[in-house]
């Protein structure tokens, strides 16, 4: 099963802007309890969506890459940004239970197609 791709300033353009499929970025931090609660679910989803070829799931640490988080106006975490062809098309803010999170991600991917 695939893991979420960890984004850095070096790989951001390739992984997000040049992606052929929608990209969901989990903006998170190590001190954020809701982020830690959502992490295993996001990793599980990463495997499912990567294998199906419907989306690429990535993680971006706001501690390690504050500049990218600031560029996207991230003010609270966890935040999932849904990108298509390098443009943000949807934003999911805050913790959500697994079923609701999947529903929101699926709706955002559908919107991108």
Report pLDDT for 102: 94
What is the per-residue pLDDT for 76? 94
Q: pLDDT at position 52, please?
A: 92
Q: What is the CATH number of the domain that holds 39?
A: 3.40.30.10
Residue of 16, 32, 68, 105 with catalytic role? 32
Per-residue pLDDT of the chain (113 residues; tens, 9 = 90+): 468 999 999 999 999 999 999 999 999 999 999 999 999 999 999 999 999 999 999 999 999 999 999 999 999 999 999 999 999 999 999 999 999 999 999 998 998 87
Q: Count how many residues are written for the chain.
A: 113
Q: Which of 5, 23, 35, 92 is catalytic?
A: 35
Residue 58 catalytic? no
35 annotated active-site: yes
Q: Which residues form the domain of 14?
A: 5-112
Extract long-range pairs of 6-12: CB within 8 Å, 24+ residues apart: 6/58, 6/59, 6/60, 6/61, 7/58, 7/59, 7/60, 7/65, 7/68, 8/64, 8/65, 9/65, 9/67, 9/68, 12/60, 12/65, 12/68
The tally of domains found in the chain comes to 1
pLDDT of residue 111: 84
Indicate the pTM of the whole model: 0.94
């Amino acid at each position: 099963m695939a893991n979420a791709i960890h984004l850095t300033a070096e790989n951001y353009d390739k992984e997000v802007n040049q992606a052929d499929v929608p990209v969901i970025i989990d903006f998170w931090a190590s001190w954020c309890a809701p982020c830690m609660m959502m992490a295993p679910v996001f990793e599980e989803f990463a495997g499912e969506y990567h294998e199906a070829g419907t989306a690429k799931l990535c993680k971006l640490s706001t501690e390690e890459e504050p500049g990218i988080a600031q560029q996207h106006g991230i003010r609270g975490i966890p935040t999932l940004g849904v990108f298509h062809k390098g443009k943000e098309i949807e934003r999911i803010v805050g913790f959500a239970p697994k079923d609701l999170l999947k529903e929101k991600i699926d709706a955002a991917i559908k919107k991108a197609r």
